[in-house]
Amino acid sequence: MAEAEMARRAPRQLTEMRDVYDLLEEVRLRPGMWVRGSSLQHLDSMLLGYHVALRVHGAKEELDFRQGGPFANWLWPRLGYEYGSSLGWSVEIERAAEATDRPAIELFFELLDEFRAEQGQPGVSEVEGAGVSGRHSVV
């Protein structure tokens, strides 16, 4: 979704969110509010806390962002790795972003949209009616 379109959407309350992807769309809308310095390592820590809360409360939601989870396993070949990185997806996306002189949070959301499209999950673009963007070169 274009930044101008995202800026027009009002932030949602926590009680309006259904899953981790709704939370991530709020992060996309206002990354500076949710993630210190737009650091993907901080986002990864936040998602770990989300995962822990799911388990503590017995929620049935699966989390794609854990180490060795679906997102990381999809990401490694996308970034040119034959095997997963022990440093985790957040570090490797930050490295790829630095190598291409792009903001890491921007690259994360681009990759997230691609992941969701390939997994057949509706992304924010589809939900909002804007269509999913095409595949872009990362590195």
Q: What is the pLDDT of residue 126?
A: 47
Dihedral sign, Cα of residue 49, residue 72, residue 120, residue 29: positive
pLDDT value at residue 99: 95
Q: What is the per-residue pLDDT for 3?
A: 54
Query: 1-5, 14-18, 114-118: which has the minimum mean pLDDT?
Result: 1-5
Q: For residue 41, give the H/E element and its range.
A: helix 40-56
Nearest to 8 by CA among 24, 30, 23: 30
In one-letter notation, the amino acid at residue 96 is: A
- Single out the residue of 43, 88, 83, 124 nearest to residue 51, CA to CA: 43
Instruction: Give yes or no for residue 66 having a pLDDT over 90.
Output: no
Give the per-residue pLDDT at 128: 45
